């Protein structure tokens, strides 16, 4: 059974892409937050859509838990939504069928979070959320790293298959050139006729 050390070993083996994912993810959050600070109407529009998503639809149970003050329930539901919908369905699942779209989905989420948590209108209640933003962001960065590893291993397999295909074609072509040349065929026919 995989352990935490196995997971850390994967991150250590892929530390350059991991650092690049961190830089890209948090960089996109900061850039989109700064852009939203300069254009606060973007945040107002997105906030309206978020409020609607938390009142109607699959996220309504999370919204109800938050609005009724049930912090433990809201925390558990938020974790499950981020794990199931955000990380698995949004990042990992698309990357299982096509290489690398999970990285783009993670980048899209970073931009959305930058807009949602931007200090366009400073609200004191957002300050503790920045730590949570960092911690949950690490989950998304790790999911993006998984999407990268999946995509890279897929491309390596494709490269091996293509190389194997061309290697076989080269062998067949060389065999054809050597053994099926007209003079080689006539030589083989003469040898056949001599032994007959």
> Domain extents for the chain?
4-152, 158-195
Burial 47-61 (b: 16+ CB within 10 A, else e): eeebeeebeeeebee
CA gyration radius, the chain: 28
Q: Which two three-digit tokens encode residue 76?
A: 């558990």
pLDDT in tens, 148-168: 999 898 888 887 777 777 776
pLDDT in tens, 98-141: 889 999 999 999 999 999 888 766 666 667 778 888 888 999 99
Instruction: Tell me which residue has tokens 């998984």.
Output: 146
Contact between 106 and 147 (Cβ < 8 Å): yes
Instruction: Tell me which residue has tokens 């293509």.
Output: 162
User: How many whole angstroms separate alpha carbon 95 and alpha carbon 92?
Assistant: 5
* Predicted structure pTM score: 0.76
Q: Which two three-digit tokens encode residue 105?
A: 């989905």
Mean pLDDT, range 28-32, rounded to an integer: 95
């Amino acid at each position: 059974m995989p352990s935490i050390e196995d997971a850390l070993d994967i991150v250590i083996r892929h530390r350059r892409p991991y650092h690049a994912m961190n830089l890209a993810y948090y960089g996109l959050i900061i850039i989109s937050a700064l852009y939203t600070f300069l254009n606060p109407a973007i945040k107002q529009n997105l906030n309206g859509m978020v409020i609607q998503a938390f009142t109607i639809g699959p996220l309504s149970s999370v919204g109800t838990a938050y609005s009724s003050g049930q912090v433990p329930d809201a925390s558990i539901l938020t974790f499950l939504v981020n794990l199931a919908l955000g990380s698995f369905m949004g990042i990992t699942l698309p990357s299982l069928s096509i290489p690398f779209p999970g990285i783009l989905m993670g980048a899209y989420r970073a931009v959305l979070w930058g807009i949602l948590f931007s200090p366009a209108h400073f609200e004191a209640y957002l300050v503790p959320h920045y730590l949570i933003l960092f911690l949950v962001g690490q989950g998304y960065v790790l999911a993006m790293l998984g999407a990268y590893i999946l995509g890279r291993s897929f491309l390596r397999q494709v490269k091996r298959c293509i190389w194997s295909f061309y290697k076989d074609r080269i062998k067949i072509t060389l065999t054809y050139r050597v053994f099926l040349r007209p003079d080689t065929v006539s030589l083989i026919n003469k040898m056949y006729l001599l032994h007959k």
